[in-house]
Amino acid sequence: MTNSEILAVSKILLESRAFTKEEMSGILNKLVAGCVPLENVKLVSALVSNELFHYVELTHPVGIQDKLWEIGCDIQQHHLMRIRYQRQGADAASAVERIVEPVSILFSEYYFYLNAYITKENDGKYTRKYDYPAIFRIDRIADYKIMEQTFSLPYASRFQEGEFRKRVQFMYGGKLQKIRFKYTGPSIESVLDRLPTAEILSQDDSGWLVSAEVFGKGIEMWIKSQGEYIETE
């Protein structure tokens, strides 16, 4: 990797705040030591050292590197997983237990997430309870166990992370829906960047009529954040 590429990746990692300070320091040191020409190591290190020194961990700092790898391996092997999940605002004692089909790991808004289909048991067999995946923040998975049972995942119906990401906002799961709204703000580009599935249906002097496909209710948070610039139908 070039010096510019290493510097860019390092800045993106620091901005993500995805790891504890100890984890972040280790990752950056390995990146610089392994990829930067020896004569430029000190320069690149100096360019990121101040930001690393002032790095602020999230309010819920949990080391997750090993957990990420183990869950990633399980996704590839198609094993069911038993998880104990601590919901937001709940204490550890009230964690809920789920048996899930893990299908992908995504990163968004500072955190890593597990996409998995919640299952129900019938005569010792597990089937999907819903036809859309649930979203679990990985640092809130209190503990997990890889089960012996496997689940089938036909190629034609495999989960596609890229297509899911286009349709989910703030990692709030739920059914797939189609929305339409009138946007009257100053930058339609910001809407198209936020909603990759958005299509402009029409435009006039007052604004743009837009449609988009989205999962769940996360879209409501974004619409409210736009204030008077958005009118829903």
Mean pLDDT computed over 17-25:
90
Mean pLDDT computed over 17-33:
89
Picking from 81, 96, 83, 167, the residue whose alpha carbon sits closest to that of residue 132 is: 167
Convert the pLDDT of each residue in 96-107 to its tens digit. Answer: 999 999 999 988
Both tokens of residue 63?
């080391």
Amino acid letter for position 66: D
pLDDT of residue 39: 77
pLDDT of residue 209: 96
Give CA–CA dist 104/163, Å, rounded. 12
User: Could you tell me which residue, 34 or 162, shows the higher pLDDT?
Assistant: 34
Percentage of the chain lying above the pLDDT 90 cut: 40
pLDDT of residue 199: 94
**Residue 2 DSSP symbol:** -
Backbone phi, psi, residue 83, to 5°: -120, 150
pLDDT of residue 157: 56
Mean pLDDT computed over 180-200:
93
Mean pLDDT computed over 171-179:
84
| Alpha helices, H only, the chain | 3-16, 21-35, 41-53, 65-77, 161-166, 188-194, 218-225
pLDDT of residue 92: 67
Using an 8 Å Cβ cutoff, are 117 and 97 in contact? no
* pLDDT at position 34 over 90: no
CA distance readout (Å), 3 to 27, 32, 56, 103, 125: 16, 9, 25, 35, 53
pLDDT of residue 124: 82
Using an 8 Å Cβ cutoff, are 49 and 77 in contact? no
- Strand partners of residue 115: 104, 135
Mean pLDDT computed over 42-47:
83
pLDDT of residue 43: 82
Worst-scoring range by mean pLDDT, 49-53, 127-131, 160-164, 223-227?
160-164
Picking from 64, 74, 62, 156, the residue whose alpha carbon sits closest to that of residue 115 is: 74
Phi-psi region of 178 (alpha: psi -120 to 50; beta: other; left: phi over 0): beta
pLDDT grade for 210, boundaries at 50, 70 and 90: very high
pLDDT grade for 61, boundaries at 50, 70 and 90: low
